[in-house]
Structure 1
Amino acid sequence: MLTLVIRICFVILSTTVALAYGRNYYLETDFPVWLAGVIGFAIAVTLIAMEQAFRRRFARAVVTVIVGLFVGLLLSKLILGVLDAAIQNPAIRDNIDIPIVLITTYLAIITILHHADRFRIIIPFVEFRSQAPEEGKVVCDLSALTDSRLAFLAQAGLFGHRLLVHERTIHACQQLSTSSNDTDQQRGQRALATLADLRGLGEPMLELESIDLPQADSDGAVALELARLEGARLCCSDRDILARAKAERIPVVDLSLLAEVLTAGVQPGDSLRVRIERAGEQQGQGVGFHRDGSMVVVSQAEEAIGEEVMLVVKRLHHTAQGRIIFGDRQETASFQRRRSTAE
């Protein structure tokens, strides 16, 4: 509310000051005085719109532009000094100074805007952030989004009030969902479904980041760099990325460990219900996925693709990618009738 009042006062003051100047400078000309007020109003509204467009990094953007302007003007002065000594024709010298200042200043501002993160040691104040991680912000990487437990844990309030996902991570999810490999395609579809669930929660708020990260050459590096820049925690289930984050002193949320602690474990002999999504590698097997993202391989379930079946857990197999549950299909009345008919 206070911000709104300040903005309204700024617009009124800008319009009033512009009208005052207009009375002094336009009174003896053909220009209407109210035109100065319109110009002042337009400038104020433009500045407020720019603040809204860069509201999450407004201080960083303003300071970066000021630094770029200073560097551009300094380089322009150096270049013009060299040209003054090299060019003897005063007509040429007088006509190239403004274009050189404009071009040099523009290139300096754009370069620093796109690569401010590389210059943060030279210009440490362009980030305007605390060195301590903010507990309310969590960056989710690709491995976290492919885990269907993420939305449930977020709904339980374990991740603060802001979840950050980079646009490159979403693009990777979309690429996986259209992959020719069935496993990658299912991972991508689960990730997109998780994103949809997170958007529907409302709290924590899901925010998409589009900041340029030229040094990040992989999906994991994108999440690491974003967490470092935002001073946020990294939510991940990939062991390699977690190890790298800990080595770089980035706070992490180990999604697999957290979900394993909070979720009741599946043990041999337990009964589960799972939806069969495709045929398995061996004859008669059907493959589905548990709610925690684990792959479930069910014997005698190949003909039940698209249906939910009951199974008894036979054994568990742990791999680098996660856990695989093997089970035997329970012989329900409908299944017994179907099998007796086939025999």
Structure 2
Amino acid sequence: MAWAGLVTKILLVIICSVGGYLIAGQIERFAAVSWAPWAGVAVGFSFAIIAIWLVKFIRRIPLKALIGGTLGLLVGLLIAQLISYGFISVENTTIRVATYVVLVCIFGYVGMVLGSIKIEELGWPHWGWLHRGVTKGGTLKILDTSVIIDGRIVDIVEAGFLEGVLVVPEFVLQELQHIADSTDSSRRVRGRRGLDMLKKLQESELAEVRIERQDFDHLQEVDAKLVALALRLNASIVTNDYNLSKVAEVQGIRVLNINKLANALRPVVLPGEVLRLHILKEGKEQGQGIAYLEDGTMVVVENAASLLGQEVEASVTSILQTTGGRMIFTTLKSSEQGRRH
């Protein structure tokens, strides 16, 4: 997909450059000028770059804003045309043309800007599909601050398990910037990591990242604003915040929790299964040793406190699922075998 986009851009640049060369060479006024075709190449190349930039810019604009802006532009041009009829009687052609151009620029610009803004106020039923979060890749997915800082969202997108439009609210960007500017070094590192992860998402062509400028001034908490935005756009929320997940689910919002996904992808461990573990530290209870699986799951091994730094075989007795993750309880399969290690 990325290669296809790159090839298309290269072809566009080549075609525009060659077209500029041929057109400039055929214009009689410049035919005798040796450098004219090369100036045509430069102009064609410039138009290609502008077109690529416009596509990159426009793809981040919500569909309803594009439609509203287009309708506003058409209305503005129509008003300019009607007003210009009053200047038909003016004999001076230069004044008449200049007046028409000025009117078109003024009313076209005002109509486009007002149309893109005021379309939010339309409440007609047949405009509802513009406000729903349904896109070609599925529902709109709003990213919260925690999931951006976490960074696993980048790997999930690159693996192809999350596609479509990823919405980053402007108030989340502001929170990231506030964290990155913190005087606390750990918070500053987390904030800068979040900004780096967001940059990687924007550079990835597997998902579209859209900056949503809607805000809710009457709400103070970022989580409350996320819920309000999700309800307005009928979008999902991608997070690893347990409390935000519960609040959003209560209000009927679909939540994609990265921690739940990580738990679902962990290897299945069944009671009675034998694990080979490396005892790293003592547990809270007397005699317990603590080990970890490759995915970070904590394993409590009974009667293994004296085997720190050793490798043992332990049999799974029970599995406890908590809000913070999964804990596995085991007993030594053979204490003597563990001591030999």
What TM-score results when the alignment is normalised by the length of structure 1? 0.50
What TM-score results when the alignment is normalised by the length of structure 2? 0.50
